[in-house]
Amino acid sequence: MFKALMLTQQDKATQVAFVDLDESALPPGDVRVKVEYSSLNYKDALAVTGRGAIVRSWPMVPGIDLAGVVESSSDPAWQAGDRVVVNGWGMGETHWGGLSQKASLKAGWLLRLPEGFTTRQAMAVATAGYTAALCVMALLKHGTRPQDGEVLVTGATGGVGSVAVALLAGLGFEVTASTGRPQEADYLQRMGAAHILDRGSLVAPGKPLQSERWAATVDTVGSQTLANALAQTKWNGAVAACGLAGGADLPSTVMPFILRGVTLYGINCVFQSNAVREQAWALLARHVKPDQLAEMTHEVALSDIVQASNDLLAGRIRGRTVVDVNR
């Protein structure tokens, strides 16, 4: 038997329960994993609280990422005892996910635990951190270099934002962290931010083209914030958009694209090749300091998930939330 968080739907409302399950209840898969840690991401919080159409098959064990140890595998690529990390591929959406003590997964979804990380540290990074790395990789591939000037990170005290700030600063960029939490300025500076910007200055509707300020942006907020970031991007600069914490709309114009050659990159972390994932983890291992990762992380138990989900969506959580599924 093992414990899991289970979501069911009744009259279109999401119900959450902690259940004891027999292993025979697990979905089909090539590899059986004993989960050590999962994490709480924005998407998980939406699923657990029943906001947003995240879960697409019921009942569902939520959790879009996990790290743990292989117990058994019918695929020769994996042996009992291998330490692995998995995120995306529909886990917690169409396939039972990581907020559970056991998981049954497709062999191709697993990644060997990246060098330099414990399973707990891997879940401190997890989906949010790896998405921050995908955003930064898009900007680096675009050609953005530290000498190009200030880079902006929006939603900076959030999970993606905190890792993006630390990673960009670790790469030598001058980072401006946009936040609605001025009381976290010291924290953001410890993550490597050179400047703090009140997010209020980015949420009001602005002109289609504004003074050129940012060489590049990692945007986790969307909506008017993304529109203003685009309008303030320097000639030939780039914006990597991954989030919608402020809204899913994009009230922009084509002006930044056609008059300043700005490029907007869309980032999706769910279906990336393992080669790209390995590059992202390697970048994080090289440029995010373990003490920064430790400071941006707090831990909760499986039984704390509902409260933590509400806190995350209300903007009361700073950085990353690791879930110890065995307590």
- Applying CB under 6 A, the residues found at the interface with ligand NDP are 41-43, 127-128, 131, 155-161, 179-181, 199, 203, 220-221, 225, 242-246, 267-270, 312, 315
Quickly tell me which residue has 């002109």 as its tokens: 207
Query: Helix, strand or coil for residue 98?
Result: coil
Between 16 and 270, name the residue whose CB sits nearer to ligand NDP: 270
Between 10 and 273, name the residue whose CB sits nearer to ligand NDP: 273
Give the integer Cα–Cα distance in Å for 131 and 160.
7
Smallest distance, ligand NDP to C-beta of residue 11, A = 26
Smallest distance, ligand NDP to C-beta of residue 27, A = 23
Give the integer Cα–Cα distance in Å for 156 and 168.
12
Between 268 and 274, name the residue whose CB sits nearer to ligand NDP: 268
Q: Measuring CA to CA, which residue among 263, 243, 264 is closest to residue 312?
A: 243
Smallest distance, ligand NDP to C-beta of residue 271, A = 9
Smallest distance, ligand NDP to C-beta of residue 190, A = 14
> Which residue, judged by CB position, is nearest to ligand NDP in the bound state?
158
> Two tokens at 39?
């994490």
Q: Measuring CA to CA, which residue among 224, 217, 185 is closest to residue 202?
A: 224
- Kindly list the distances between the CA atom of residue 159 and the CA atoms of 25, 59, 133, 178, 275, in Å, as whole numbers in the listed order: 32, 27, 12, 13, 23
Phi first, then psi: what are they for 144, rounded to 5°? Answer: -65, 130
Between 176 and 179, name the residue whose CB sits nearer to ligand NDP: 179
Smallest distance, ligand NDP to C-beta of residue 215, A = 21
Between 137 and 242, name the residue whose CB sits nearer to ligand NDP: 242
Contact 75, 24 (CB under 8 A): no
H/E stretch holding 297: strand 297-301
Smallest distance, ligand NDP to C-beta of residue 117, A = 18
Q: At what angle do helices 274-287 and 159-170 cross, to 10 degrees?
A: 70
Between 29 and 246, name the residue whose CB sits nearer to ligand NDP: 246
CA-derived radius of gyration, the chain = 20
Between 258 and 275, name the residue whose CB sits nearer to ligand NDP: 275
Smallest distance, ligand NDP to C-beta of residue 154, A = 7
